[in-house]
Amino acid sequence: MPSVFAYQSSEVDWCEPNFQYSQLVAEFYNTFSNVTFFIFGPLMTFLMRPYIQQRSRYLYVLFVLFTVTGLFSMYFHMTLSFLGQMLDEIAILWLLASGYSIWLPRCYFPAFLGQNRSRYSSLIIIISLVSTFLSFLRPTINAYALNAIGLHIIYIVVQEYKKTKNKELQHLIEVSTVIWALAFTSWISDRLLCSFWQWINFSYLHSIWHVLISFTFPYGMVILALVDSEYEMPNKTLKVRYWPRDTWPMGLPYVEMGDDHKSC
């Protein structure tokens, strides 16, 4: 039984040919396409810190986990080791869990919890701990399970799209859902259609997944903050801004705290 640290000790191997450019980097493009995680993670943390300090400092955990996920994904693709795979997938699990515990609107809580967020968060922690142990039983299905959670997040967001009258929120949901759909299509194509992609000598879809899914993070943070504020901070206004300039045709969305509504 090879060591969990050993190169290619994971049962998962992506479509990109291995060790094409270096004996130290198994999948070159899949390794370095994670760089956007190291840009968006710290940048979004900096841009959204006024919101984080008003809403919940636990959001720093989510933002840090996003950056750490990119680091573990880089290590995973560099080595294709079992340790790399598990670090990557467990980081994603806890990233999603932190988002669920802070931002899932109470109306989606299981009925037996009532509207009690602290009891709900305790349930999320228990489920995440159990899932962490279960992830070692059939590691090859972990990523599919994590994508199924992603699909649930999209479902929640689409339900909120139907409820809201906020045109800017609707636009952000439309854009992020298209980005996520393109990302997931790239991910599943790399997994299931690798022989075709290798035949046409284009086996870089998983690298495209990394870049596209990293873009869902800024959009996801803004969407969930706007949705959450309608339920949890109805008297506060959030302003959507775009980095580096609002006036630029393309930019990274983030939220700023607006002036409080003074209820008379």
Ligand X SMILES: CCCCCCCC/C=C\CCCCCCCC(=O)N[C@@H](CO)[C@H](O)/C=C/CCCCCCCCCCCCC
146: partner contacted, choices ligand X, Ca ion, Zn ion, none (Cβ within 5-8 A by kind):
ligand X
If DSSP states are collapsed to H, E and C, what string results for 188-208? Answer: HHHHHCHHHHHHCCCCCHHHH
Instruction: Output 194 or 259, the one with its CB closest to ligand X.
Output: 194
Sign of CA dihedral 9, 11, 16, 18: positive
At position 137, the amino acid (one-letter code) is: L
* Contact by Cβ (8 Å): 91, 142: no
87: partner contacted, choices Ca ion, ligand X, Zn ion, none (Cβ within 5-8 A by kind):
none
Contact flag: residue 75 with ligand X (CB under 6 A): no
- Which one of residues 219, 226, 240, 254 is an interface residue with ligand X (CB under 6 A)? 219
Residue 131, Ramachandran bin (φ over 0: left; ψ between -120 and 50: alpha; else beta):
alpha
Q: Is residue 16 marked as binding?
A: yes
Q: Is residue 18 marked as binding?
A: yes
Terminal Cα-to-Cα distance of the chain (whole angstroms) = 70
**Among residues 189, 192, 184, which one has the least CA distance to residue 210?**
184
Report 67-96 residues binding Zn ion (CB under 5 A).
Answer: 73
Instruction: Output 138 or 261, the one with its CB closest to ligand X.
Output: 138
Tokens of 246: 């609002």
> Which among 14-22, 85-93, 110-118, 212-220 is the span making contact with Ca ion, rule CB under 5 A?
14-22
Q: Is residue 27 marked as binding?
A: yes
Contact flag: residue 164 with Ca ion (CB under 5 A): no
How many residues interact with ligand X (rule CB under 6 A)? 28
Q: Which residues of 4-23 are buried (b: 16+ CB within 10 A; e: fewer)?
A: eeebebbebebbbeeeeeee
How many residues interact with Ca ion (rule CB under 5 A)? 4
Contact flag: residue 256 with Ca ion (CB under 5 A): no
13: partner contacted, choices ligand X, Ca ion, Zn ion, none (Cβ within 5-8 A by kind):
Ca ion
Q: Where are the beta strands (DSSP E) in 107-167?
A: none
* Contact by Cβ (8 Å): 255, 218: no
Positions in the binding site for ligand X (CB under 6 A): 69, 73, 76, 88, 92, 96, 99-100, 103-104, 143, 146-147, 150, 153-154, 156-157, 176, 180, 210, 213, 216-217, 219-220, 223-224
Residue numbers in the known binding site are 13-14, 16, 18, 27, 77, 206, 210
Residue numbers in the known binding site for Zn(2+) are 77, 206, 210
